[in-house]
Structure 1
Amino acid sequence: MRRLNPVRNRKQALRVVKELDAFPKVPESYKETSASGGGLSIVTFIIIIILIISEVRYYASTSLKFDCEVDGQYDQKMQINIDMVVAMRCDLIGADVLDVTGQDARYFGKLNEEDTYFELTNKQRFFFNSKKDVNKYLREEYHAIHELLWLTGNVNLVGEVPHRDVPPVGQPDACRLYGSLHVNKVAGNFHITAGKSVPVIPSGHAHLALLIHESEYNFSHRINHFSFGEPVTGIISPLDGEELITHNNYHMFQYFVKIVPTEVKTYAADVDTFQYAVTERNRSINHSEGSHGVAGIFVKYDLSSLKIRVREVHKPYWMFLVRMCGIIGGIFSVSGMLHGVIGLLVDVVCCRYKVGKYKPKSESPAPVQPPTQSYDLSSSHQLPDLSNIPNVSTAPLPDSTPLTPLLQQQQQQPYSDSSIPNSYIPDQGAG
């Protein structure tokens, strides 16, 4: 069996690889440059740089991905965060929760009570109106709230209510209720009504309001914050900035809330919280006109069986590479075609309408004629014309006559000053 020569096999392999070359090099002598092509190249590079910068910024940002699944955390507790002001003294009202399990409200926790003033200062009013305007815009105009609130690097659009910069006058006429309650993850009713609550056997509770005069009823209220679950920075709940004023003592305010469990996993937070939608109704209580009920503020909530998972993700980097290749290659191809079309139009216009001086590219340059006179580099004088000298033949040489013997013969043949006319002899003393 013959042994193959490795050197020969290597050369054949290289020859095959060279034939598959998709990027052949063009010699420099075959390239033709122009000012229009250079200008178009500069514009092309500028466009490519701008698009690359925009693509880098686009793929460096993050987006939110949403998934829905059945909520399996049925034994989880739910936190209610409350901060609101009611236009009644703290000793006249009571706030608690009653859910469908009938569990004693005292096990859910207790809100903090603080005597305050219902009227706001100018600074506090400006803060509260700003919160109200932002919430109104997000609720009515910008529905994709998540794109603004949950992304990493968001800013907290609202904060705490500023303290009073003007000392109040008179006795406090309102009560601030704030804190958190931990309730069962079932439907329930958070309410604020007249009188403190007392437990009732076998279950439930009652509010003692027998000693409260009718003129002391006023359930006008202002909600600074109302949310479910762990607080998430930047999220404005639908009830934040809500303010309802009534001039009727017996008035019922009802909020019907639908809660959706939400799991938020971003680069800035990893929490289990809740979103909710709310519908508000209110009416005056007048038993003689058939409007029955209990004066107060009632927030009736129910939970959805579905859970929303929110994740912050980066766009795939392979898409970035594909788009980069498409941008660079596409712009170069389009600019090349554009340059060719413009050059074709210019040539057609110049030929058809004879605009400018048109010269075909195939026109060869005129041959360069050799000089008929020679000069002495050692002297500034011009040498005489040797065509009239008899000893020097000026007849054209045939093509077959070799030039080297003739030149040698010319160099060996001496010239005599006597054979040259005096008029052709340069003046030696003129130098």
Structure 2
Amino acid sequence: MQFDIRRFDIYRKVPKDLTQPTLTGACISICSVLFMLYLFLSELAGFLQHEVVSELVVDDPVKYSEKIPVFLNITLMNTKCEFVGLDIQDDMGRHEVGFQDNTEKIPQNDDTGCRMETHFLINKVPGNFHVSTHAAKHQPAQGDMRHVVHKLRFGMDLEEGKNVKGSFNPMESLDKGNGNAQATHDYIIRVVPSVYVNKDNTKRYPYQYTYSYREIIQYGHGGHMMPAIWFRYEMSPITVQYTERRQPFYHFLTTVCAIVGGTFTVAGIFDSCVFTAYEIIRKAELGKLS
């Protein structure tokens, strides 16, 4: 007996003269093909893009460095540059009054205000840095620390075009210009280390942070104390790691097969229901339903 490999065909063909095309079936088929094409193109677009996956780890992402860069850009609307200074303190005993390195002061509002841009390093311990008049040779007649924070960033900046959900610069364009002129502005900041791993396995180390704010008026033995802008920070032991990766090809194929097979099956069931209902109605009209 000659072996016939066609016995293994699970896709048996029905002769065309035994099938009946219908207008409803044609409409359902066209809609199904368009629907499958739409889902396929959507899935293909998602496959070609890189997804960013986040995870939490208890680790220091930058073990080789005990310092974190900080970038501050702030405008004081009613304090001259000659009075404005930056002081840095932390729990390791650091205490710098009138920090000057990498600092630029730009007069604003006809020299009645000052925009200060600076960057510096802080230790990975709780501490603070504050904008004040403490380092000035003489104090202004009346302190006024109302301000706008244009930028406060910890660590590296994310590369341009990276869109990641997170609080990397939540104080951007923060306006505190309508507060009490005699008030001290106090920001409590929680710094969270982050790692961003690109698709080529290169890494960047931005830091996210959240903050709370309070406005207070301080008094001492001599009466009202000169206001300042305090940024008090502490480090979180949790690191957020973002990883760029592309969807596996087998996952893409599985999804495409599910789209085609699922749409074909559902469309077939719907077509059968429509055809059966049409036949029942037609028989009822002809009186052949019984």
TM-score normalised by length of structure 1 = 0.58
Q: Does 2:144 match 1:218?
A: yes
CA distance in 2, matches of 1:310, 1:247: 38
Unaligned 5+ runs, structure 1:
1-7, 119-170, 197-207, 359-431
Cα gap change, 1:38 to 1:187, in 2 (>3 Å): same
Distance 1:56 1:323 in 2: 10
- 1:30 counterpart residue number: 18
Distance 1:78 1:117 in 2: 30
Aligned to 1:116: 107
Runs of 4+ in 1 over 6 A off after TM superposition: none
Structure with the largest fraction of strand: 2
Structure 1 residue aligned with 2:211: 278
Q: Which residue of 1 aligns with 2:75?
A: 85
Q: Are residue 40 (structure 1) and residue 31 (structure 2) matched? A: no
Hey, what does 1:244 align to over in structure 2? Answer: 176
Change (3 A) 1:340 1:242: closer
Between structures 1 and 2, the one with greater helix share: 1
Helix, strand or coil at the partner of 1:116? strand
Higher relative contact order (CA 8 A, sep 6+): 2
Structure 2 CA distance, aligned partners of 1:308 and 1:247? 35
Q: Which range moves more in the overlay, 329-338 or 290-299? A: 290-299
Q: Separation in 2 of the partners of 1:236 and 1:78?
A: 14
Distance in 1 (alpha carbons) for counterparts of 2:180 and 2:261 = 73
1:346 match:
278
1:69 Cα shift? 1.7
Q: 1:53 aligns with which of 16, 41, 48?
A: 41
Q: Contact 2:87–2:132 at 8 Å: present in 1 too?
A: no
TM-superposed CA distance for 1:117, in Å, is: 1.7
Q: 1:102 Cα shift?
A: 1.5
Residues 34 and 283 (structure 1), Cα distance of their counterparts in 2 relative to 1, 3 Å cut: closer
Preserved CA contact (<8 Å) 1:115 1:173? no
Which deviations, in whole Å up to 9, do the C-alpha atoms of 1:39-73 show, x marking residues without a partner? 33222222222222222223333322112222234
Amino acid at match of 1:326: A
> What secondary structure sits across from 2:156 in the alignment?
coil
Report the equivalent of 1:127.
none
- The answer for the alignment partner of 1:194 in structure 2 is 133
User: Which of the pair has more CA radius of gyration?
Assistant: 1
**Are the equivalent residues in 2 in contact too, given 1:111–1:177 (CA < 8 A)?**
no
Partners in 2 of 1:243 and 1:297 — Cα distance?
Answer: 13
Distance 1:109 1:78, change over 3 A: farther
For each residue in 1:241-291, what CA deviation from the matched residue of structure 2 results, as whole angstroms up to 9, or x when unmatched?
A: 112136755421111100011001235983111000001111122347x99
2:198 corresponding residue in structure 1: 266
Q: Is the 8 A contact 1:263 1:310 kept in 2?
A: yes
Partner of residue 184 from structure 1, selected from 123, 131, 136: 123
Q: Which of 64-73 and 33-42 deviates more?
A: 33-42
Deviation at 1:179, TM superposition (A): 2.3
Distance 1:256 1:292, change over 3 A: farther
Equivalences for residues 339-418 of structure 1 within 5 A: 339-354=271-286
Give the match for residue 231 of structure 1: 157
Give me the identity figure in percent: 21
Distance change in 2, residues 1:94/1:59 (3 Å):
same
Query: What does the per-residue CA deviation read over 1:134-171, in whole Å, with 9 as the maximum and x for residues that have no partner?
Result: xxxxxxxxxxxxxxxxxxxxxxxxxxxxxxxxxxxxx4
- CA displacement at 1:236 relative to structure 2: 5.7
- Please give the root-mean-square deviation of Cα atoms over the aligned residues, in Å: 3.0
Q: 1: distance between equivalents of 2:35 and 2:219?
A: 72
Which residue pairs with 1:317 in the alignment? Answer: 249
In the comparison of the two structures, how many residue pairs are matched? 278
Would you say the 8 A contact 1:219–1:246 is kept in 2? no
